Amino acid sequence: MYELLYRGGLTPWVAAGRAQSALVERLLDREEAWHGSTVGRTLVDLGCGTGEHSLAAARRGWTVVGLDASAAAIDKARRAADGAGLAVRFVVGDVRRLWEVPGLEPGVSVFVDVGCYHGLRAAGRRMVAEGVGRLAASRSSVLVAGLDRRPGLAGVGVTAEGLAADFPDWPVEPDQVFALGGGGPLGRARFRVFRLAREA
């Protein structure tokens, strides 16, 4: 479905992602302070879409891998990276099977998920968590931003309780709630941002 929507240009979540750019920059500020440096550190953007957040991280010096199931989205992301002169590895793949992504090795410092995890079914969410656990460095963090709730679509959204169940070895920090802002159908949506971090 997402492949057809990307090819047809029916992607309101792309505009919503752009509206989050300032928030993402603040989140990256915090991760850099916590990790101490971006040098030699890998950040994986789960469900990266057309790559806005991946490019933002690459500009800061992170080694970035952007992953999305849509080949059309990845093609746009690659062209954007080329146009910006940024070295980002964009890969077509399934976030539920991270261990099968070619070239994605253990030792990832930060995982960023803006609007992907929150739409997966329960089994898919657990698989994401399993993949993160396999690939994460001993000191690593996970940022998850997703809808607080979406009336009429059961199972869509993200909660602290759900994250704690899926990521039992990762303390879940208190969340932040924000409105996306901007136009479009998601402009008034409430999102929650969670940070999970482990020291070893």
Q: Which residue has the tokens 């656990």?
A: 133
Q: Tell which residue, 135, 134, 199, has the closest CA to residue 171.
A: 199
pLDDT at 17 over 60: no
Look up the pTM and report it.
Answer: 0.85
- Residue 23 and residue 177 in contact, taking contact as beta carbons nearer than 8 Å: no
What is the β-pairing status of strands 136-147 and 108-114?
A: parallel
Residue 172 tokens read as 């879940």
- Show the domains of the chain with their CATH numbers: 2-198 (3.40.50.150)
| Model pLDDT, residue 178 | 64
| Model pLDDT, residue 181 | 55
Mean pLDDT of the 31-36 span:
94
| pLDDT tens column, 81-96 | 999 999 999 999 999 9
| Model pLDDT, residue 192 | 86
- Mean pLDDT lowest among 75-84, 150-159, 180-189: 180-189
In terms of C-beta density within 10 A (0-12 exposed, 13-18 middle, 19 or more buried), how is residue 44 classed?
A: buried
| Model pLDDT, residue 156 | 73
Which pLDDT band, with edges at 50, 70 and 90, does 6 fall under?
Answer: very low
| Model pLDDT, residue 48 | 94
| pLDDT tens column, 37-85 | 899 999 999 999 999 999 999 999 999 999 999 999 999 999 999 999 9
